[in-house]
Each structure stands twice: as C-alpha cells, then as structure tokens.
Structure 1
Amino acid sequence: MSEQRKPTEEYVVIRHRPGYRLKRALILIVCTVIAGAGGYAAGLAQGGFRSTGVEASNERLEDKLAALEANYRDARQRLVNLERGKLIDEQALNQARNIIVELETRVGSLKSDLTFYKNIMAPSETSKGLQVDRFSLTNDRQAGVYNFKLVLTQVGNNKSYISGVVAVNIIGMRDQEKEVIALRDLSQEIKDLGVKFRFRYFQDVEGKLTLPDGFEPLEVQVVAQAEGRKSSQAERTFGWGDLTEN
C-alpha cells in the first residue's frame, strides 16, 4: 500500500511595517478634509448660496434684536417716568395735605380769636367785667416742664382801664396728700404771689413752669382780683387732664 501524499502547504510572507494602519487612517482623514474644503470652495464659486442665506438670516436676527432693544429702552423709560410721576404726585399730595392742615388750624385759630373779640365787644348779660378767659399748657422738650399762657379780659365796659392782681395755684397730690403750689414757686418768670395786671381789653401772662418730682397735678386754680372803682373778682378752675390732653 502506497503512502498518500499530503498536499503541499504554502506560506505567504508579509512584511511587518509598524504604524502602517495609523498612517493609513491619517491619510483618509486628510483626504476627507481636502474633499470637504473643495466642495465648500466649489459652492462659493457657484454663487455662494449658503453664505448668502446665512448672512440674510443674520441680518434678520440683528434687525429683530435692534427692535427688541429699542422696545426695551422705551418701556424702561416709561417705567422711570411713571415712577418719577408717582413720586411727584405723592410729594404734591403730602404738601397739599400739610397745607390743608395748616389752613384748618389757622381758620380754627381765627374763629377762636373772632369769638374772643366778639365776647369782649358784645358780651352777654351774664358775662361782663373782669373775666378769666383761658389758661393753656403746652409740653416743653423736658419732662415735667410746660409753657403756660393765662388770658384775662375786660368784657363790656372797655372805655377805661382795669387793674389788680391775679394768683395761680397748681393743686395736686404728693405722697398721697393734697398739696397746693403757687405758680411763683414753679416758674422763674413769676416773682410775686399775685401777678399785677392793667389793661382795657385783655392781657396775657406767659411763662414756663416746672413740676417738682413726685407731684401729680390735678387742677389749675386762677383767681383774679380787680381793684379801685372797678373792683371785682373772677375765679376759674381748669382740669390738668383737659389742659394737657392735646
């Protein structure tokens, strides 16, 4: 039996070239870029339709942006104008209110003065001669210190002067006991127990009084005594709370 001959095996020898695949990939990439650039250049050579479309779109966007910016500036300016107008309106309204309050206060004062002079010149039958017209207090900046004003009037017969003295006492409580303090002991402007007066129509007595520590005032008592041919007496008591409630 003869031996079967095996087919002859063939071997292919390939040269080993390090980096060949990498170089081939780079060449393909370069070729692709060159081809793209060429196509872009060809497009430009044929009329530049792509660039023109982009430029037109860009111009439209720029126009819209410019319009929006203009609208924004206009709206912003209107807002500023409205805010300024509102502030001006508020200031004008506050000024008008202050003027109204001042005018109302002045009108009230003028009405009070008119009534005052009318009572002097044309009194009723029950109010003639020497009168204690009013006693007022206003708070000073210091605690326990008040500005006072006493007004005496001669009602009816004003052809001649009336003279005399007026005494003012502050009635209150201290250490749970009633106490009467003369105005001269509370005010540097009043030197005597009785303040002298002489007038035809009216006279004011003004000054500043300071309450002592621990003294709680309740009333102000005013007693005016006219002397001579028009001898008469006028007395009036004012509640401290009524004098200081404003």
Structure 2
Amino acid sequence: MSDSRKPAEEYVVVRHRPGHRIRRTAILLIFTLVAAIAGYAGGLAQSGFRLSNVAASNDTLQEELDTLRSDFRETRQKLVNLERGKVIDQQALGSARKTIAELENRIASLKSDLTFYKNIMAPSETSKGLQVDSLALARDYEPGSWDFKLVLTQVGNNKSYISGVVAVNVIGLRDEQKEVIALRDLSKDIEDLGVKFRFRFFQNVEGTLVLPDNFQPLEVQVVAQADGRKSSQAERTFDWDDLTEK
C-alpha cells in the first residue's frame, strides 16, 4: 500500500526587525541630500569663479571704454582746432591775395601815371604841345547812359599855361542815316559846344552822356583848339567799340 502523504512544506523563519526599512530609507535620503548639497556647493563655487571673471572683464572693458572716450574727445578737439586753423589760413590767404591784387593794380596805376607824366615832361620830337591824351567810357546804371572822362595834356614846354576850347562829337547811325551829335546835346554836364580849358600839364573833362533811342554810336571825335601865342590844334577819333569793350 503506497504512501499517499504529501511532503511537508518548508518554512523560512525571518527575524522581524521593526523600523529597519525606515532607517534604510532615511539613510538613502541623507546620502541623496548630501550629494545634492555637495553638487550645489560645487556649482556655487564654479559660478562664483565665473562671476568674478565676468566682473573683472567688465571692469577692464569699462576702463578701455573710458580710454576710447577720452581719445575720441581729444581727437575731436584736434579736428576742431585743425578746421579752425584751416579757416583762418584760408581767410589769411584770401586777404593776402586781395592785398596782392590791390598792390598790383596800384603798381599798374602808378606805372601808368609815371608814363603819363614822362610823356608830358620828356616827349618825343613828334609829340609836343597840346594833345588829346585819352578818352574813357564806363556804363552808368541807367540804360544808354555812360560816364566819360577826357584827358588833355600839354607836352614838352609846361612853363606857361595853355588855354582854348575842346569840342566832342559822337558819330553814329539812326534809321540807317549817319548822324553827328555834339556832346552838349547828350550831357547835362556840358553847356557849350566847346568846353573851355586852361592848364599847364593836363586837364580832365568829365561827366555823363545819355544816348538817344534808336541811335547806334560808332565813333567819338575830339577836337581841341588852343588860342593865344600857343595856338595849336589837336584832333583824335576813338572807336566806340574799343571804348566800351571792357
């Protein structure tokens, strides 16, 4: 007869330790917390190093910026000084050029006057006595109006006065016809057909003439007549275009 009994079950006896699991969990939590604190402290240390580097870099950059600003101010001031100096130099140069031009004009005028007086005091053999020296015209502000200046000279013997009259006529065209107009009829400054003169060296005849409408001037004829023991005549014709080409 077979044995039909079941084998006996094995049991393991485990010692019951109340609070062991709680202590283990607490230890794990403590290690985790310590690791976290250590990591955080290391991070703070590294962050502090980085922050100190950033602060140092910021101070260096600030110093460089201050230096650049100072250099910029100095450079800008130098530029302003150079610009002012350039303006002053330009003004001085312009003033010098103006002075030189004035002096050159003055020298030319003095040379002209010197030549004028030399011709009067030491003339050539062919130019002595009464002379029609020059005639100048300058446009006036009114249309058809001209300022004139006629110069008569006595060349050579200037010890005594010479006197007489000078007639001036403007020759031109009006309506395609030749016309001769006396200076008296063109200028309020001239009252007679012959302008009286009396001088030893030279005399100017000056005034303003106004051309009539539709009159085209071509020439100006000047005839000077001396009377008395120095009786002589001087005549000269001036081209209008030559007188007014300036």
Q: Which residue of 1 aligns with 2:241?
A: 241
Structure 1 unmatched runs, 5+ = 1-34
CA distance in 1, matches of 2:90, 2:173: 49
Alignment of 1:152-171 (within 5 A): 152-171=152-171
CA distance in 1, matches of 2:69, 2:213: 72
CA distance in 1, matches of 2:195, 2:80: 65
Q: Which residue of 2 aligns with 1:4?
A: none
For 2:169, give the aligned amino acid.
Answer: N
Question: TM-score, with normalisation over the residues of structure 2?
Answer: 0.79
Question: TM-score, with normalisation over the residues of structure 1?
Answer: 0.79
Residues 169-218 of structure 1 deviation map (CA, whole Å, 9 limit, x = unaligned): 11112222221111111111101110000111111111111112221211
Q: Secondary structure at the match of 2:189?
A: coil
Q: Secondary structure at the match of 2:66?
A: helix
Tell me which moved more, 102-111 or 68-77.
68-77
Q: Secondary structure at the match of 1:97?
A: helix
Q: Which residue of 2 aligns with 1:43?
A: 44
Following superposition, the deviation at residue 92 of structure 1 comes to: 1.7
Q: Secondary structure at the match of 2:84?
A: helix
Q: Secondary structure at the match of 1:125?
A: coil
Q: Which residue of 1 aligns with 2:203?
A: 203
For 2:148, give the aligned amino acid.
Answer: F
Residues 150-181 of structure 1 deviation map (CA, whole Å, 9 limit, x = unaligned): 11111111111111100011111222222111
Aligned residues: 210
Q: Which residue of 2 aligns with 1:85?
A: 85
Following superposition, the deviation at residue 39 of structure 1 comes to: 4.4
Following superposition, the deviation at residue 47 of structure 1 comes to: 9.7
Change (3 A) 1:234 1:47: same
CA distance in 2, matches of 1:40, 1:112: 104
Residues 85-116 of structure 1 deviation map (CA, whole Å, 9 limit, x = unaligned): 22222222221221111111111111111111
Moved beyond 4 Å, runs of 4+: 38-42
Q: Secondary structure at the match of 2:243?
A: helix
CA distance in 1, matches of 2:202, 2:91: 42
Residues 99-147 of structure 1 deviation map (CA, whole Å, 9 limit, x = unaligned): 1111111111111111111111111110111100111111222222211
For 2:217, give the aligned amino acid.
Answer: P
CA distance in 2, matches of 1:52, 1:90: 56
For 2:91, give the aligned amino acid.
Answer: Q
CA distance in 1, matches of 2:208, 2:220: 14
Residues 40-86 of structure 1 deviation map (CA, whole Å, 9 limit, x = unaligned): 89837x99433322211111111111121122222222222222222
Q: Secondary structure at the match of 2:150?
A: strand
For 1:69, give the aligned amino acid.
Answer: R
- Work out which of the two has the higher radius of gyration on C-alpha atoms and give 1 or 2: 2
Alignment of 1:1-246 (within 5 A): 39=40, 43=44, 48-246=48-246
RMSD value, Cα = 2.2
Q: Secondary structure at the match of 2:237?
A: strand
CA distance in 1, matches of 2:177, 2:89: 58
Q: Secondary structure at the match of 1:216?
A: strand
